[in-house]
Structure 1
């Protein structure tokens, strides 16, 4: 495998967080969850521990079918089930996992499965109404509405929204927008209605991107900022002014998120191996990068249920 190095700032070596005026990143304790496509598992570790089997804090294994090539993982709180994991797979499925105290969970812990089609890349849950939105790279967002918020099995597809190159979605509780990233654009949507009448309505807010948008995550140092990756780099978006600042200029960044401490967690495709779009390494801007031999990580997330 090629060795990738994390761009931690400009040529002088300043961390990206400092360059963007968010203060100097510092060491902090947190866990990282990642979609690993060779074993086809979601795996979570303490970010300071070696990414070995012995150190796995939590895992989810979906099995075969439409669950192959896991593409997204995030965690959310619910009134009915407590913490859940939201998962998407390029094989065709998206779903909600009842995250329990069990260390290694499987398909029987799934509360709901949807099949939006079109290579699903991301999934989000809208709080209070229990709706689910997924992004499929073939060009659309799929909206699912329930008949009972406390019963995910009642979710059914109620809307399809065209968005070329749709790759990422994220709920913004401050502005009450659903942000979605696609080809050369980041867009904001209002969520109207409830239950099966849930709909996305374009909020007439957008930010132009140089290339095909890929990942969309919070900057946990500032609730008014988002982090977006595209073909050419990583950008920090101010949701109030709709302005874009470049974090780093580098291609093939599949995921990027910033912890409240200022530490960045990212995955950059290395172009080799069984999945050229993945990498065996999760990059960390403060702690040492973590490499798992034979793995193909696609996205890495900070373990938190927070939206921002």
Structure 2
């Protein structure tokens, strides 16, 4: 049985439909033929691939190579939209860095395309942007969130650390535009935070909205098939969380899911740590529920995302 069938056998949920695309090949809403953005830790690059083509260098739509050092072991990537720069890439690396880079100017980007970076410490695993405010929040697995705020929203060089918030095992962060909340996953918890203030006075505050997990929370993503839901993986499975009622539904009981995305078409894809290779937390394969799996020889994928600027 193919690995996608392990998840398919216990999948719960019904798809909706959407279509459309904007700017530099970045999708505004998903279709059956879409692009994915992945972190590959052996070459330490972020790649963008068409999911219907092999994940080879020749087929890469975009690639970003920040080098090693603080950028080693890229652990997160996502795309967001800005008024000043258009679409930008967001990244976190277990080597210590988080930052944003200009994805629009060429096919192959490098360290000189970085628009801003910081070193929050504590094994960074995710970075998110709060729209309209121009603030960024990093999650570090050693147990905290770090808030960076600007003095000028259109100028990332003005970003500075303004707050550190304790969250044991912090791994994921995602902005919820419908409820104006920042959600974060940590050790046995998904916690929502309110955001107040502007510029350097921006602050997070833990809200009453939180959901208990069975294990360490890993990936945290919107559900592109339902704006009322979040998707989270922990050590033991993948779950859907209703952002209003906080009801948690088990979607899959497969362990070690490091990245999980569900499209409005109903298709989902994921990366599962395979306990093998140079990085046993990664895998050379991105698994698709309704398309061919994509394996890159010698690779260690950690995160796979839908290549879109949309928050949900």
Measure the CA separation in 1 of the matches of 2:171 and 2:265.
27
After TM superposition, list the pairs within 5 Å mapping 1:183-198 onto structure 2: 183-198=187-202
Partner of 1:88: 92
Alpha carbons 1:88, 1:120 under 8 Å: kept:
yes
> 1-side partners of 2:189 and 2:5: how far apart?
25
Find the aligned partners of 2:31 and 2:261 in 1 and give their Cα distance.
15
Match of 1:139 in 2: 143
Partner of 2:22: none
1:127-175 Cα offsets, whole Å, 9 max, x none, are 0110000000000000001111010011100000000000000000000
Alignment counterpart, residue 210 of structure 2, candidates 200, 206, 209: 206
Contact 1:44 1:57 in 2 (8 A): yes
Unpaired segments ≥5 residues, structure 2: 18-29
Is contact 2:122-2:143 (8 Å) kept? yes
TM-score (structure 2 length as normaliser): 0.93
SS of 2:178 mapped into structure 1:
coil
* Contact kept in structure 2, 1:171 and 1:179, CA below 8 Å: yes
Please give the per-residue CA displacement for 1:212-252, whole angstroms capped at 9, x wherever unaligned: 10100111011111110001000011101101001100111
Mapped partners of 1:273, 1:41: distance in 2: 18
Is 1:148 the equivalent of 2:152?
Answer: yes
- Displacement of 1:50 in angstroms is 0.7
**Distance of 2:162 and 2:154 partners within structure 1:** 18
The alpha-carbon distance between structure 1 residues 128 and 23, as it changes in their structure 2 partners (threshold 3 A), is closer
Show the counterpart of 1:41: 45
Structure 2 residue 6 is the aligned partner of structure 1 residue 7: yes
Distance 1:95 1:27, change over 3 A: closer
- The 2-side partners of 1:149 and 1:101 are apart by 21
Gaps of 5+ in 1: none
CA contact (8 A) 1:191 1:199 kept: yes
Structure 1 CA distance, aligned partners of 2:4 and 2:208?
38
Alpha-carbon shift at residue 99 of structure 1 (Å): 1.5
- CA shift in 2, pair 1:7/1:168, >3 Å: same
Relative distance call for 1:131 and 1:5 in structure 2 (3 A) is same
Deviations 1:247-276 (A, max 9, x none): 100111001011121110100010000000
**RMSD, aligned CA:** 1.5
Which residue of 154, 172, 176 maps to 2:176?
172
Match of 2:25 in 1: none
Aligned residues: 299
Residues 15, 264 of structure 2: 8 Å contact kept: no
- SS of the counterpart of 2:6? coil
**Whole-angstrom distance in 1 between the partners of 2:250 and 2:72:** 33
1:50 matches 2:43: no
**2:65 aligned partner:** 61
The match for 1:121 is 125
SS in 1 for 2:46: strand
Separation in 2 of the partners of 1:306 and 1:259? 12
Taking the aligned partners of 1:40 and 1:217, their CA distance within structure 2 comes to: 22
For residues 53 and 293 of structure 1, do their structure 2 counterparts lie closer, same or farther at Cα, with a shift above 3 Å needed? same
- Distance in 2, matches of 1:259 and 1:21, equals 11
